[in-house]
Amino acid sequence: MASGAVLVPSRVRVWAGVRAVVALLIVAAIVTQAVVTIGGAVSDGRDVSTTIANFFSFFTILSNIAAVIALLWAAARFGLRRPRNPTSQALALTLASASTYMILTGIVYNALLRNIPLPQGTTVWWSNEVLHVIGPLFLLVDVLFAPWNRGLGWRAVLAVLGFPVLWVVYTLIRGPLVTNPLNGDPWWYPYPFLDPHSSTTGGYAGVAGYVVGIAVAISLTALGIVWTSRRRAR
């Protein structure tokens, strides 16, 4: 056995395979929805570049991309029979971050957005369920039951919060600078709770309230995931 390499139990390698399958399912869901969304813009003569930028500005899409990266990285590392340093701190932090974002995506969608009508003919129903339900549920299961867990320090919570903060700043700055390709409004926000023009928020004060609430939810989710990792690592 090479120096630093360890023998991976078969159950860990089986879970690595499950992670890879779920990652590929998420990839298929993202690609399918992207093809339909961008294809619709082309056929209707809407601004394609703005449509693409908007598609990849949804936190759902970004969190699912993060999940794909984390799951495939973990699958590759744990799928080997004798990997070097299989439970690296970087991988553990990446999994914790992706899990936080995905679990929050599932909570927010099913609590706030589930009953909002989606554009008919432009939303792929199974893709929508994979991105908002199946993916988040699997990441929750992964946090609770994945074998060979590595504990994280409490500072990891701050690292997990970094990306959502940047995304909110990006969204609020970009929103009033983009013309909505669907209806021509001189603004575009990915979600009604971030749109100051929406009846959901009633202005920037309402947006601020939602942002604070989501920040608290992210913090609590990240704290729960780090606590779980530390407890399971014992």
DSSP string, 49-77: HHHHHHHTT-HHHHHHHHHHHHHHHHHHH
Q: Is residue 5, in this structure, part of any structural domain at all?
A: no
Question: Does the pTM of the predicted model rise above 0.85?
Answer: yes
Rounded Cα–Cα distance for residues 73 and 75 (Å)? 5
pLDDT in tens, 45-81: 999 999 999 999 999 999 999 999 999 999 998 887 6
Which range of residues forms the domain containing residue 45? 10-233
CB within 8 A of 203, min separation 6: which ones?
196
User: Which of 22, 15, 20 shows the shortest CA–CA distance to 144?
Assistant: 15
In a domain, 4, yes or no: no
Percent of the chain exceeding pLDDT 90 equals: 75
Number of domains in the chain: 1
- 2, part of any domain: no
Environment class of 170 (CB within 10 Å of its CB; exposed 0-12, middle 13-18, buried 19+): exposed
Is residue 198 assigned to a domain? yes
Do the beta carbons of residue 63 and residue 221 sit within 8 Å?
Answer: no
Domain for residue 105, yes or no? yes
